[in-house]
Amino acid sequence: MKKLLLCATLCALSAFVHADEGMWMLSGIDAKTAQAMKGLGLQLTPEQLYSTNQASLKDCVVDFGDFCSGVVVSPDGLVFTNHHCGYGAIQQLSTPEDDILKNGFVARSREEERPAEGLFVKFLVRTDDCTARIVRALSEVYAAHPGDEKADLDRLYTDSIMGAVEKELKEAEPEADLDCMVKAYFDRNAFFASYYKVFRDVRLVFTATETLGKFGGDTDNWMWPRQTCDFSVFRIYADKEGKPCEYSPDNVPLHTQRFAPIAMDGYRNGDFCMTVGYPGSTNRYLSSWGIDERVNARNVSTIQVRGKKQEVWKRFMDADRAVAIKYASKWASSSNYWKNSIGMNKAIADLGVIGQKQQLEDKIREWYGSRRDLADRFGQMFSKLRDAYAERRNNVYAMGFFRETFMRGVEIYRLANMLNSMPQDADSTEAAGVRSRMADFLKDYDARLDEATMAALLRNYREQVADSTFWPECYSVIDSLYAGDEKAYAHDVFSRTVCLDTTAVDKVLADSTLRDTDPALCYAAGIPVMMQEIAGKGREAASVIDYNEHLLTQALLEMEQQMPHYSDANFTMRLSYGYIQDYTAGGKQFPFYTNARSLLDKAAKQRKIEDYRLEKDIVSLMKKGDWGRYADRNTGDMHLCFLSNNDITGGNSGSPMFNGKGELLGLAFDGNWEAMSGDISFDSDLQRCIGVDVRYMLFIIDKWGHADHLIRELLQE
């Protein structure tokens, strides 16, 4: 085990075979790797990329709110991230009277910068290997339970050991303001602790109009070519000593050790490009049975239920701008992964990903088949994976529809569950906490929309999950009291419940019978019961799958120990590198950048589609064509978006894309439709990272926003 873990770690840190594939840890870039990158155009040393002793490139890349990435671009804490990453904060700061989501926003002074409540950024300070410590503790567990199946011990004890080590490391850390997180790599074959400095006073500085920031909308999402001006600008604040603290009007802009200089010279096809950020989750070591489950038992629920939900939402959002503002961020999140799942299923089928994985599994069988010691370790893992995946198939299918319907679809559950979770004898502090959480939720909630959603999704769940053993208690009520009419049931729930405003807290505390009579509280009480039943039915199979997927990753790393391997993404800082590069798909050549003319042409041709509408002043600005210093020096155009073959996934949104000198070329914001299977399998011929050009961003800040003070700060003038 120790030999394997050492091998896996060394493989991960060795020279890369494919410059375009891989999400690599910056802390593991050795001399050989650096030499390979230098040959492709990198001009920075490993110490300039990652260092714990001096400022390095890692110090200007941030985890943006634990859901995106960002980059510090000035010595006074200015941060660039995507418009869709800042979308939630922008939406929260918008009202129908001051609709900055629609109209954009420019802070003309530091005093006008708007605090984004709840938003934070995290700087990586260092990453330490703690593999040996966790493996040693896990070995002691195995030794103490010699007769037990490792599959029954592995996940439970690994998670608890990781938690204990994380706690110990936090307590031992001398810097009080550092946060520590221990995460697993290579499917729990290696472990690292990452230390972060977290800043919680983050303020909105600039956002363009929604038509620019979301140009193309859901229609163009995951597509190329793109013209989306997908960026927003925030500023990090700290106390007067530069330390993290909560919001205060006395706070000052953070003076950073390192910020990213702007690349004004542009790029050509084939130029070096690297992306640094926080990719969220990939599953490239997953077995063929796991991929099949993802396609046919998981993604189908995301596609089907969100499609139904979004039909309802759209009716209400189109009819009322106030509702549209409330649900803007929710819609963006829902529709993003809805379309992602559609594209993933299509690409996995088109590219034959399951067949490719089966061929790799055949190679692994051949490798261990001739050696007795290896056959003893790995000989049963494929049959166990096959049987366990088959055993839990119906449960996973039902759980997918259950989560999308009851946990992510019908929103009143969240309000009612807050009240159900409150003790009947709650003190004033507990009651105030529930009241505050309800108020936060209600700011972006519309009961009429939710009632219609409940009626549609309850009917849909009954149709899609035919086995009534997976139906929660509300269906017995619907059938016995409402003659199976979900619409009548939903109307009664919403017309009689107390859950739709914060006075419900006092009402429930004053009258305990409401927990048994209020229809929303009764509805919500049955949801976690059924969820636990569904989960319980698949728990044994899940343990077998977790452990044998872990073994499969071990087998691959050991079989290919002379080859470099990178760990699946787990929202820790990673670097990918390669080139600015076009691609060909379906016999069509796609260029590596788009220009202003393509924006105007698309807006004109598709003017009847809401996603492509632009304000008259923006059209006039683009038609004028006065690009000035923002024009590309190679083409004379102003580039809007561009392609690289860098390896990214969700979480990389807002990641800086650098040239070989470490200068900022733009921000990653999307991938291309033809390679939507990228979270499962990387296709070097097709997979591309779509970025917004930093010069397009500066042009909008300057010529549309007239924010000269920001341009001077960004370009250090």
Among residues 14, 20, 25, which one has the least CA distance to residue 568? 25
Q: What is the distance between the alpha carbons of residues 644 and 689, in angstroms, rounded to a whole number?
A: 5
Q: Mark whether 492 is an active-site residue.
A: no
Nearest CA to 707 out of 104, 230, 219, 274 is that of 104
Q: Is 230 an annotated catalytic residue?
A: yes
d(C-alpha 239, C-alpha 257), whole Å: 16
Cβ atoms of 676 and 654 within 8 Å: the answer is no
Cα 588 to the chain's mean position, in Å?
30
Distance CA 439, CA 424 (A): 20
CA distance 120 to 330: 19
- Which burial class, exposed, middle or buried, applies to 563 when counting CB atoms under 10 A from its CB (0-12, 13-18, 19+)? exposed
How far, in Å, CA of 528 to CA of 522, rounded? 12
Q: Active site residue: 63, 230, 292, 679, which one?
A: 230
Residue 372 and residue 593: Cα distance in Å, rounded?
54
Q: What SS3 state is found at 79?
A: strand
Three-state DSSP class for residue 205: strand
As a whole number of angstroms, the distance between CA 454 and CA 312 comes to: 10
CA distances 392 to 204, 285, 468, Å, are 46, 20, 17
Give every CB contact of residue 33 below 8 A, 6+ residues apart in sequence: 13, 14, 15, 16, 24, 46
Q: Do residues 51 and 670 touch, judged by C-beta distance below 8 A?
A: no
The Cα–Cα gap between 670 and 695 comes to 18
For the chain, give the longest Cα–Cα distance. 77
Q: Crossing angle, helix 519-537 and helix 539-559, to 10 degrees?
A: 50
- Burial category of 272 from C-beta neighbours within 10 Å (exposed 0-12, middle 13-18, buried 19 and up): buried
Rounded Cα distance between 102 and 98, Å, is 9
Q: Which residues are paired to 671 by β-bridges? A: 689
Distance CA 323, CA 446 (A): 7
Q: Identify the bridge partners of residue 644 per DSSP, sorted by sequence position.
A: 580, 689
In sequence order, what DSSP letters do the residues of 167-187 get, joined into one string? HHHHHH-S-TTEEEEEEEETT
Cα–Cα distance, 414 to 431 (Å, whole number)? 16
Q: Would you tell me how many other CB atoms lie within 10 Å of the CB of residue 426? A: 16
The H-or-E segment that residue 192 falls in is: strand 190-199
Q: Which residues make beta-bridge pairs with 236?
A: 202
Residue 648 identity (one-letter amino acid)? I
Q: How far apart are CA 181 and CA 330, in angstroms?
A: 28
User: Which position among 653, 655, 677, 681 bears the catalytic label?
Assistant: 653
Out of 59, 63, 74, 84, pick the active-site residue. 84
**Chain centroid, CA 672 distance in Å:** 16
Catalytic residues: 84, 230, 653
